[in-house]
Amino acid sequence: MRCPYCSSLDTQVKDSRPTDDSSAIRRRRVCPDCGGRFTTFERVQLRELMVVKRSGRRIPFDRDKLVRSLEIALRKRPVEPERVERMINGIVRQLESLGDGEIPSATIGELVMEGLKALDDVAYVRFASVYKDFREARDFEELLGELSGPDEAATPSRAKASAREPS
């Protein structure tokens, strides 16, 4: 493992243990060249997953890309990092257990939407606006109608009025 401080390849493992959810191995490392200490998380990958894009192009699944897109959707939201990590691990496990090495990008998008809907409504709407390529305000209104349920979606002005009235 390369040292993030001096780029030396000669790092040593000082401690190794599974993470709390056992999805990775946490290793504390030290660089004998610069004395830098750092932590790595190593995950077992059950199989090489390929993502089939809408265009038909195939690219290797990149967990980090999934993490980055979730970080954007969850930016400035009060969601604990542990919950996000559990969600990501769950999505990856579901993808690996599908039995096929090739996964349509739409499947990944739907799993992320499902996870975000349970995690944070604002992040869900942010992700959906990009994933579903919203073009008009009406697209947001429809999605918000789905989130609020059938009663509130049918009478949005009453829901707004009741939110303003003191109890």
Chain segment 95-116, per-residue pLDDT in tens: 888 877 899 999 999 999 899 9
Distance CA 161, CA 30 (A): 60
Distance CA 116, CA 127 (A): 8
What pLDDT was estimated at residue 47? Answer: 65
What's 98's DSSP letter? Answer: T
Distance CA 56, CA 105 (A): 10
Distance CA 86, CA 24 (A): 11
Amino acid at 115: G
pTM: 0.60
Distance CA 114, CA 91 (A): 10
Residue 5 has pLDDT above 70, yes or no: yes
The angle subtended at Cα 124 by Cα 81 and Cα 159, nearest 5°, is 120
> Which of residues 148 and 91 earns the better pLDDT score?
91
**Tokens of residue 98, six digits:** 């599908």
Task: Name the residue ranges covered by the structural domains of the chain.
Answer: 7-44, 46-147
Distance CA 50, CA 57 (A): 10
Q: Where are the beta strands (DSSP E) in 19-108?
A: 25-30, 37-42, 50-52, 58-60, 102-104
Query: Which H or E run includes 14?
Result: strand 12-18
